């Protein structure tokens, strides 16, 4: 579904990624793990069209998208849940979800998707008229995920979904990610919490200073001595 080939991205003179290559097959959960500054979020921004690649290719369903607009990339079926959630404070939960469907014109189907989001996140239906800024961090993460799902993505990009959350919410969020994937959405997951990320991933890649240094199945990376020492406290 997605192939990133020798992706290099700069912020001014700073090289954030160095010829990164990886694949995401349809139906998979793929996790990119690594320390802060490894280039993980930069990769997602490049895929989403939020930051332009210096060189390399990003192929989605076999076609290059690295020069497409973010709007076009969403229309193609890629949606991102950003690091830090970035919900719209001063707007209700329902209004935030509506923003996820802003490119769509199929009103009847949009109403069906509101129902789908509320089935996946029952707490959001209870809070649908509440200002999103007053929600807990875990509830805001659910709003951000629900908002992304309102665009009906084929590929969902998740940037640090566990950041700042209590352990009980982390467990719940990752259970929801598995459910979303099981119901047909491919997931590319960026996560510092390597253990939970690799436990649900079919495939994983380890990034260090902008490069992929190791790859394998989620189980293989969990069992790796190098990964355990660097990321799992082993």
pLDDT at 128: 95
Instruction: Please check the confidence at residue 40 and state whether its pLDDT lies above 60.
Output: yes
Using a pLDDT cut of 90, give the percent of the chain over it: 75
How far is Cα 234 from Cα 232, in angstroms, rounded to an integer?
A: 5
Residue 73 lies in a domain: no
- Give mean pLDDT, residues 147-156: 93
Q: Is 108 exposed, middle or buried (0-12, 13-18, 19+ CB in 10 A)?
A: exposed
pLDDT at 35: 83
Residue 160 lies in a domain: no
The tokens for 40 are 């993980």
What is the domain count for the chain? 1
Residue 61 lies in a domain: no
> What does pLDDT average to over the chain?
92
Per-residue pLDDT reduced to its tens digit, 47-76: 999 999 999 999 999 999 999 999 999 999
Of residues 59 and 166, the one with the higher pLDDT is 59
What confidence tier does 134 reach under pLDDT thresholds 50, 70, 90? very high
Residue 116 lies in a domain: yes
Instruction: Please check the confidence at residue 125 and state whether its pLDDT lies above 80.
Output: yes
pLDDT at 83: 85
Residue environment code for 88-102, b if the CB has 16+ CB neighbours within 10 A, otherwise e: eeebbbbebbbebbe
- Give mean pLDDT, residues 121-134: 95
Instruction: Please check the confidence at residue 217 and state whether its pLDDT lies above 70.
Output: yes
pLDDT at 49: 94
1-5, 174-178, 225-229, range with greatest mean pLDDT: 1-5
What confidence tier does 84 reach under pLDDT thresholds 50, 70, 90? confident
pTM of model > 0.85:
yes
Q: At CB < 8 A and 24+ separation, what contacts does 116-122 make?
A: 116/149, 117/146, 117/149, 117/150, 120/146, 120/149, 120/176, 120/179, 120/180, 121/145, 121/146, 121/176
Instruction: Please check the confidence at residue 109 and state whether its pLDDT lies above 60.
Output: yes
The residue with tokens 């895929």 is: 47
CB 148 within 8 A of CB 140: no
Q: Which domain holds residue 106?
A: 87-150
Rg of the chain in Å (alpha carbons)? 17
Lowest mean pLDDT among 22-26, 90-94, 130-134, 136-140: 136-140
> Which residues are CB-contacts of 127 (< 8 A; sequence separation ≥ 6)?
93, 135, 139
Residue 143 lies in a domain: yes
- Give mean pLDDT, residues 83-92: 88
CB 210 within 8 A of CB 20: yes
pLDDT at 207: 92
CB 117 within 8 A of CB 123: no
Residue 194 lies in a domain: no
Residue 37 lies in a domain: no
- The one-character DSSP state at 209 is T
Residue 100 lies in a domain: yes
End-to-end CA distance of the chain: 34
Number of neighbouring beta carbons within 10 Å of residue 87 = 21
- Residue-by-residue DSSP string for 109-137: HHHHHHHHHHHH-HHHHHTTTSBGGGS-H
């Amino acid at each position: 579904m997605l192939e990133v080939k020798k992706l290099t991205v700069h912020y001014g003179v700073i090289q954030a990624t160095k010829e990164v290559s990886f694949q995401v097959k349809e139906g998979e959960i793929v996790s990119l793990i690594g320390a802060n500054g490894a280039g993980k979020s930069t990769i997602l921004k490049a895929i989403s069209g939020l930051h332009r690649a210096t060189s390399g290719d990003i192929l989605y369903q076999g076609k290059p998208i690295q020069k497409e607009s973010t709007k076009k990339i969403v229309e193609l079926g890629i949606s991102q849940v950003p690091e830090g959630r970035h919900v719209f404070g001063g707007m209700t939960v329902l209004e935030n979800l509506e923003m996820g469907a802003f490119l769509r014109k199929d009103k009847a189907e949009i109403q069906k998707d509101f129902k789908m989001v509320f089935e996946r996140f029952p707490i959001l239906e209870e809070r649908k008229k509440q200002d999103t800024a007053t929600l807990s961090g875990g509830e805001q993460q659910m709003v951000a995920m629900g908002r992304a799902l309102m665009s009906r993505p084929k590929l969902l990009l998740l940037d640090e979904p566990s950041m700042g959350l209590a352990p009980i919410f982390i467990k719940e969020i990752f259970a929801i990610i598995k459910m979303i994937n099981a119901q047909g959405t491919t997931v590319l997951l960026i996560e510092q919490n390597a253990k939970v990320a690799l436990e649900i991933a079919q495939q994983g890649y380890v990034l260090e200073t902008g490069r992929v240094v190791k790859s394998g199945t989620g189980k293989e990376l969990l069992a790796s001595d190098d990964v355990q020492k660097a990321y799992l406290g082993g």
